[in-house]
Amino acid sequence: MLFTIKIVAAQGQSSITITNTSWTPSVGTNPVSITGNDYINSTLTSSVYQSLLNVNSNEGYTISINKTDIDWIAGLSLWVGRTGDGTASSATISANVPFIQLTYLDQALFTGNKDRINIPLQFEIRGLSVLLPAKQYTTTIVFTISN
């Protein structure tokens, strides 16, 4: 199985940019070693610094996130976590939260104020199974900034 995660940023009065806007993990071809067991590693996890988000804002903002499935299957779930605060001279950012599951509805990922760079993001795909058809699954993650 191959997965393609595309990342895009929607702009408002403030702006965001994201580096490394694609993650393409794949599931190996190792067979299941024990009869009756599902795929042993049922979660694929990206690097802790898979993508870096930069915020350009002179005021308070909320970064929201959702996903738009292109070719995805209901048994898989995509999760994102902010794994650090990035850097800024005087800006604030809300506390890190555990991974959140992405859906087609906007969800607040974090809030902050003023410019902040290199905010690290990590992604996970959960629900892998030998019962899923072997093919490429694709979704797009949309980050939105609002003031």
pLDDT band for position 63 (cuts 50, 70, 90) = very high
Run of H or E including 45:
strand 43-45
Q: Which residue has the higher pLDDT, 117 or 128?
A: 117
Q: What whole-number distance in Å separates Cα of residue 116 and Cα of residue 124?
A: 24
Domains and CATH numbers, the chain: 2-25+43-146 (2.60.40)
Determine the pLDDT at residue 43.
Answer: 84
Q: Which residue has the higher pLDDT, 83 or 98?
A: 83
- Say if residue 145's pLDDT is above 60: yes
Q: What whole-number distance in Å separates Cα of residue 106 and Cα of residue 144?
A: 9
- Say if residue 128's pLDDT is above 80: yes
Q: What whole-number distance in Å separates Cα of residue 36 and Cα of residue 57?
A: 53
Q: What whole-number distance in Å separates Cα of residue 48 and Cα of residue 29?
A: 25
Q: Which residue has the higher pLDDT, 132 or 15?
A: 15
Residues 6+ apart with CB under 8 A from 109: 63, 64, 65, 80, 82, 97, 100, 143
State the average pLDDT for the chain.
84
Residue 8 pairs in a beta bridge with 142
Mean pLDDT over residues 87-103, rounded? 88
| Other beta carbons within 10 Å of 74 | 7
Greatest mean pLDDT range, 34-43, 77-86, 121-130: 77-86
C-alpha torsion sign, points 40, 73, 7, 2: positive
Residue 105 near residue 60 (C-beta atoms within 8 A):
no
Residues 6+ apart with CB under 8 A from 135: 1, 2, 71
- Say if residue 59's pLDDT is above 60: yes
